[in-house]
């Protein structure tokens, strides 16, 4: 272990030992949300304050046929120029989610929303093509959530330089977050976010601030990532006893997370995990039962995790190359998974319903979940479409099938 790594581990151990007693007191006195006794049953407000081509086809279709067509918000703004990008995005922000839609989301039994937002909502520098205006709509969303009895996680979905190189960071390509002073800039931006959203005006609604979404651990320096998370924890917990610091697991093994002695009483530090079953190269070879067994195994992992664990993203989408098919040899997948729910057979609808129910049961072995996402247009990604078609349980505790996991 390097000297720097040893120092980071020692800092975490000392810090959390000093805070363990105060955490117990805060747990008892937390007036807003106790992650050790309550369950998050939430949904992501994806594709709104940060856009991606697959979620926002109405915005990106204008680039069809173009060489090097943009797929992320950086490219969208760069291609259109700031004036036109602002015109289109302003219209998008004011229409894609509204007060009425937040009321509809609450009617599903949802008690919290996770709101992705990019760093550029708060800071644009140099030659960055981004436009601003998202912060106003974040504040509107917080008020709409308050009006409908829902809590809010503010999720830094895109960081300067990109923490993962994916569209969801705002800019595809190289992963430069830990270069060129980008982490320091992120801390400055998040200092503003923490200072604002831990104020009394928000404390009844905002119950979590996520330090950074989906940092790609195998492409980053994990010691530096943990040091950043620690600085964020100090920043947030020093200002509020009701806003959790949410850290993403960076898709690395739990053994990598040596933050010092963590126990179930540390309500104000939450680990966010994201688990999908469609992005790995072997997904198409899995049977339906394989997918269900993976969910059962995930539930076991969540229950053993010493961190308070919430699955901040999941969906009912299986590998895009697959569709339900029964055969004499057992469960199998063949063909293409259509996003058009009107083409689904009753058998396929039941298969997706069981997949959802199994995930709900297993994810609640932790502190809860946020579905991805409230609205997308693609059936298995769109919670509203699934609910309207009787595939996502209503109420959320309703079960059509017996529990799959033993």
Spans of all domains in the chain: 3-274
Model confidence at 3, in pLDDT bands (50, 70, 90)? low
- For the segment 309-320, the average pLDDT, to the nearest whole number, is 87
How many Å separate Cα 339 from the centre of its chain?
A: 21
Longest alpha-carbon distance in the chain: 62
Strand partners, 89: none
Range with the lowest mean pLDDT among 26-40, 58-72, 192-206? 26-40
Which helix (H) or strand (E) element contains residue 198? none
Give the bridge partners for 154, in sequence order: 115, 209
Nearest to 272 by CA among 228, 208, 205, 181: 208
Q: Which listed residue (52, 283, 313, 364) is catalytic?
A: 313
Residue 18, pLDDT above cutoff 90: no
pLDDT for 341 equals: 87
**Alpha-carbon span 250 to 273, nearest angstrom:** 8
What pLDDT is stored for residue 280 in this prediction? 65
Phi, psi of 99 (to 5 degrees): -60, -40
Q: Which whole number is the average pLDDT over 130-145?
A: 98
* Average pLDDT over every residue of 48-56: 95
For residue 97, the tally of other CB atoms under 10 A from its CB is 24
Least confident of 133-142, 192-201, 329-338: 329-338
Helix, strand, coil proportions of the chain in percent (round to 5)?
A: 45, 15, 45
Q: What is the band of 267 on the pLDDT scale with cuts at 50, 70, 90?
A: low
pLDDT band at 6 (very low <50, low <70, confident <90, very high): low
Q: Do the beta carbons of residue 324 and residue 345 sit within 8 Å?
A: yes
- pLDDT at position 323 is 44
Q: Which residues pair with 206 in a beta bridge?
A: 152
pLDDT higher than 90, residue 226: yes
* CB environment 337-366: b (16+ within 10 A), e (fewer): bebebeebeeebbebbbbbbbbbbbbbbbb
CB 367 within 8 A of CB 360: no
Three-state DSSP class for residue 302: helix
**380 confidence band (pLDDT: 50, 70, 90):** confident
Give the pLDDT confidence score for residue 367 in this predicted structure. Answer: 96
How high is the pLDDT of residue 379? 82
How confident is the model over 124-136, as a mean pLDDT? 98
Nearest of 195, 253, 254, 256 to residue 224 by alpha carbon: 256
Instruction: Compute the average pLDDT of residues 34-52.
Output: 96
Confidence of residue 390 (pLDDT cuts 50, 70, 90): very high
The average confidence (pLDDT) of the chain is: 87
The highest-confidence range among 27-41, 237-251, 313-327, by mean pLDDT, is: 237-251
Q: What percent of the chain has pLDDT over 90?
A: 75
pLDDT over 70 at 324, yes or no: no
- Within 13 Å of residue 203, how many CA atoms lie on the same side as its CB? 13
pLDDT of residue 265: 43
- Give dist(CA 251, CA 350) in Å, integer: 30
pLDDT confidence band for 262 (50 / 70 / 90): very low
Q: What is the pLDDT of residue 319?
A: 60
Catalytic residue flag (residue 214): yes
- pLDDT score, position 171: 98
Q: What is the pLDDT, as a whole number, of residue 31?
A: 67
User: What does the pLDDT read at residue 100?
Assistant: 98
Residues 74/114, Cβ–Cβ less than 8 Å: no
Residue appearing with tokens 């000392």: 14
Q: Which of 52, 214, 283, 364 is catalytic?
A: 214
The runs of H, that is alpha helices, within 198-274 are: 222-237
Domain 3-274 in CATH 3.20.20.80? The answer is: yes
CA distances (Å), origin 266, targets 34, 190, 206, 231: 10, 22, 18, 17
**Coil vs helix vs strand at 108:** coil
Residue 352 token pair: 């997706």
Residue 337 corresponds to which tokens in the numbers above? 């998974």
pLDDT in tens, 77-102: 999 999 999 999 999 999 999 999 99
Scored b (16 or more CB within 10 A) or e, 113-141 reads bbbbbbbbbbbeeeebbbbeebeebbebb
- pLDDT of 134: 98
Q: Is residue 83 classed exposed, middle or buried when 0-12, 13-18 and 19+ CB atoms within 10 A define those classes?
A: exposed
Confidence of residue 17 (pLDDT cuts 50, 70, 90): very low
Residue 313 designated active-site: yes
Percent of the chain past pLDDT 70, that is, above it, reads: 83
């Amino acid at each position: 272990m390097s000297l720097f790594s040893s120092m980071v581990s020692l800092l975490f151990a000392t810090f959390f030992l000093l805070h363990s007693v105060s955490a117990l007191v805060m747990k008892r006195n937390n007036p807003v949300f106790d992650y050790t006794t309550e369950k998050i049953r939430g949904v992501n407000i994806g594709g709104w304050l940060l856009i991606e081509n697959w979620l926002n086809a109405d915005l990106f279709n204008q680039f069809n046929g173009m060489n090097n067509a943009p797929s992320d918000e950086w490219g969208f703004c760069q291609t259109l120029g700031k004036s036109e990008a602002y015109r289109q995005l302003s219209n998008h922000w004011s229409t894609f989610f509204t007060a009425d839609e937040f009321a509809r989301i609450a009617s599903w039994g949802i008690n919290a929303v996770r709101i992705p937002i990019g760093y550029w909502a708060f800071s644009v520098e140099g030659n960055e093509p981004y436009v601003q205006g998202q912060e106003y709509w974040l504040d509107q969303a917080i008020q709409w959530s308050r009006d409908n009895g829902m809590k809010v996680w503010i999720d830094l979905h895109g960081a300067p330089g990109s923490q993962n190189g994916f569209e969801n960071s705002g800019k595809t390509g190289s992963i430069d977050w830990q270069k060129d002073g980008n982490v320091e800039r992120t801390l400055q931006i998040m200092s503003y976010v923490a200072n604002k959203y831990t104020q009394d005006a928000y404390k009844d609604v905002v119950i979590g601030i996520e330090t950074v979404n989906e940092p790609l651990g195998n492409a980053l320096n994990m010691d530096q990532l943990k040091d950043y998370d620690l600085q964020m924890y100090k920043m947030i917990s020093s200002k509020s006893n009701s806003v959790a610091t949410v850290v993403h697991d960076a898709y690395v093994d739990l053994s990598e997370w040596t933050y010092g002695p963590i126990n179930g009483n540390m309500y104000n530090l939450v680990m966010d995990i994201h688990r999908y079953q469609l992005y790995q190269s072997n997904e198409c070879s899995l049977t339906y039962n394989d997918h269900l067994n993976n969910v059962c195994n995930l539930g076991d992992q969540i229950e053993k995790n010493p961190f308070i664990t919430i699955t901040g993203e999941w969906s009912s989408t299986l590998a895009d190359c697959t569709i339900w098919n029964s055969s004499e040899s057992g469960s199998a997948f063949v063909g293409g998974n259509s996003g058009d729910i009107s083409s689904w057979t009753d058998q396929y609808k039941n298969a997706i319903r069981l997949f959802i129910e199994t995930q709900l049961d297993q994810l609640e072995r932790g502190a809860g979940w946020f579905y991805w996402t409230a609205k997308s247009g693609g059936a298995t990604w769109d919670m509203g479409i699934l609910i309207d078609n009787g595939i996502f349980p209503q109420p959320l505790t309703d079960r059509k099938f017996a529990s799959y996991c033993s």
